[in-house]
Structure 1
């Protein structure tokens, strides 16, 4: 889910002379349908990601009423479907071998398939939907640009501007996702002790966080851990920091450093 979808620049030769965008013609609509039929997996990914976005919004803002927990589950189910489709794109031929499983668990889409399954049947956690929602939004916007280009270079300019603004903030969004993933760990530990999550949940989530830390395609989790470490060390070095707090924080840094996996840099 962390890799961005490539934009296809398909423009119509008869468009672009008017300042106002004309409504889509029959040929433009046909081009969109033909493109989606020729790229069924990409179109399916677009739809499942839009579903994730919609159900997350309905969970956070109950605009239509209904059971919020059902929206929460549906958002994660569609996230799992997106991850499974993307995983099929990345590694289409399944093999029951150790080498194949090793490749499988290196894929970001596999990480988020595990993530969605992990959170789908526990007490609803809004923080758990944030990464799924933001990744779905980023990738859905990327494919939406492809659809808009097929409809014409001047089609739906307001939507194009919104997508452009989101793309400008992509790095900040990815950093926020990584920060959310990190701070989900203490939230899960608290839920485990309050009986709202299994006692095994922190250990399973630790494996997910380890995979995100070692990701070759998305370095933001690793970067955020490094920045948090530097920030805590800077605060501990201040004379105002009590010795007991300083000792506790240094022990936490040592524990996290010891548990952190070594990133696999093999290509």
Structure 2
């Protein structure tokens, strides 16, 4: 009880205001830089959807470049020491930040598509919201109450946002094939994106893509088992499940069995 009281007293005695915010920014340069780049990502995405300033294509590229910068900084935080070893490369490709660095590089060379920016912007919103709360606490408990309410709403919906991100990651796989047919992407785009999706499936810290694959499979199987469904559609649905299962990583297939 006394420990809790002393901790609360220390939090109350901790200096607040602009001077405290300045000291916090100096002491946490990389975290503040990440927050600033994520906010820039969101702003550029808004200007892409509503092209008030500048060229929409340039703004689209700025969103992906900002995401690449965020991913690179996060990789620097997670793996500060670089070494050209098999173990380091395995650790590098296992990081979620590396996945989204690859994601930005894939779609930088593809014609702009709003769907591509959705996972980037949602991740930027989630992470910037949590750190915005830290910055607001540094300013003081009663600062920017409207922003605090918005942050609370975002954190309340964090699970649904992560599910939407994983669903978009999956949908983008056939979407890249569609982009080729429209002449808006290169022939290698789906193959490179497939490797990105495999890494997302195998992610150690984010199980949402794996869970979304399972949810979609169950929903498609339930749909295929409906008695009034035409036979040709039922066969097409089962074929889609079979192909997707064969494309799943070996480790994932073993875990499922």
Give the TM-score normalised by structure 1. Answer: 0.88
Q: List aligned pairs for 1:1-267, cutoff 5 A.
A: 11-13=11-13, 28-62=17-51, 64-261=52-249, 262-263=251-252
More helix by share: 2
The answer to whether the Cα contact below 8 Å between 1:83 and 1:113 also exists between their aligned partners in 2 is yes
Superposition misfits of 4+ residues, deviation over 3 angstroms: 10-15
The answer to whether the Cα contact below 8 Å between 1:11 and 1:153 also exists between their aligned partners in 2 is no
The answer to whether the Cα contact below 8 Å between 1:189 and 1:202 also exists between their aligned partners in 2 is yes
Give the TM-score normalised by structure 2. Answer: 0.91
Total equivalences in the alignment: 244
Structure 1, gaps ≥5 residues long: 1-9, 16-26
State the distance in 2 between where 1:229 and 1:93 align: 40
The answer to whether the Cα contact below 8 Å between 2:109 and 2:185 also exists between their aligned partners in 1 is no
State the distance in 2 between where 1:130 and 1:106 align: 22
DSSP-derived class of the 1:187 partner: helix
DSSP-derived class of the 2:150 partner: helix
State the distance in 2 between where 1:119 and 1:226 align: 26
**How far apart are 1:12 and its partner, in Å?**
4.0
**1:12/1:61 CA distance change after superposition, 3 Å:** farther
The answer for the alignment partner of 1:4 in structure 2 is none
How big is each residue's C-alpha offset from its partner over 1:45-94, in whole Å with a ceiling of 9 and x where there is no partner?
Answer: 011111101000110112x2321001100011000000000011011100
Q: Over the residues paired in the alignment, what is the CA RMSD in angstroms?
A: 1.7
